Amino acid sequence: MRIVKIILISIFALCVPFVVFLIYDAVYASQPSPFREDPVTDVFVWSRQDSVALGEPDEPEKPDIPEEPPEPPLPDRSVPVAFLTFDDGPSKYTERILEILEEHEVKATFFVIDKPMYDDLYKTIYDSGNEIALHSASHEYKQIYGSEEAFFEDYYSLQNKIYDLIGVRLWTYRFPGGTSNTIVSRTVLNDIFVKLRAKNIKYIDWNVSSNDCNVRDSNKIINNVVKGAKETVKIEKNNNEAMILLHDTNLSLPSVNALSEIITQLKEEGFVFDTVSNATNLSQHRKLAE
Ligand SMILES: [Zn+2]
């Protein structure tokens, strides 16, 4: 009997603190307290910081795509605009072309290549107020279109050269043969497009060809350009821009002889003239396959 009494007293003694704890918890535990930890903090949440701190491999680097610059206000396109573009210069005719442009008070764009014998002419073009843009250093299709690396090696070679000569870095480009050339593979071209976009390099093709590489007759060149420009702005009513391809090489005399008449006739047709930086339609033959 004595043993039973001792056991009952012991059970009672053990229960008292437990009951006191239950009462305390019911009264105070539901109230916020600076000394109580928020239960959420007890849950281990796997965060990116944890993975970095624990030395896990970082995410693969994303391509460095710059944000699109704010759109400049659209130029007036209520009248048709002619963009005269001369590829493959400089040449022995470059200065004559500049004179004709000045006589008619119009500006054009020169997509130049690397021609060391005419090194002084890059600055002449730039200082004349006409636009100068890149058209590859070597202009060798097989070389530059061999791979994306070869393409950009060529691109930067010319960009650096022009920078040394005129002190300006150029980011406007025309593919030799245009993006519609049949030499470059679609895979390489797409790799190039991705990188051009990442670097915000603008490339421009054309929508009017003088065909002056094949036609050595000034009258035919005039007709190709003027007729082509009129038809283009009639078809592409939304942009009203004729991007005209001509050449500035040592074989371009027929084009030089045609130039004055081309400008006169286009003016008579109501065209004004501008340079490619102000084009709203880049006349790209092929674009990045999304
Ligand atoms: Zn060319």
The domains of the chain, with CATH numbers, are 2-50 (no CATH), 81-278 (3.20.20.370)
Taking the centre of ligand 1 as the mean of its atom positions, its distance from the CA of residue 176, in whole angstroms, is 4
- Predicted TM-score (pTM) of the model is 0.75
Closest CA to 208 of 85, 38, 63: 85
Taking the centre of ligand 1 as the mean of its atom positions, its distance from the CA of residue 158, in whole angstroms, is 14
CA dihedral 118, 89, 145, 281 (to 10 degrees): 140
Taking the centre of ligand 1 as the mean of its atom positions, its distance from the CA of residue 261, in whole angstroms, is 23
Q: What is the pLDDT of residue 59?
A: 42
pLDDT tens, position by position, 189-226: 999 999 999 999 999 999 999 999 999 999 999 999 99
Taking the centre of ligand 1 as the mean of its atom positions, its distance from the CA of residue 108, in whole angstroms, is 16
Taking the centre of ligand 1 as the mean of its atom positions, its distance from the CA of residue 86, in whole angstroms, is 9
Q: Which tokens go with 175?
A: 């593919």
The answer to whether 172 touches 204, Cβ cutoff 8 Å, is: yes
Low-confidence ranges of the chain (pLDDT < 70): 1-75, 236-238, 290
Taking the centre of ligand 1 as the mean of its atom positions, its distance from the CA of residue 135, in whole angstroms, is 7
**48 burial class (0-12, 13-18, 19+ CB within 10 angstroms)?**
exposed
Q: What is the pLDDT of residue 61?
A: 47
The answer to whether 244 touches 84, Cβ cutoff 8 Å, is: yes
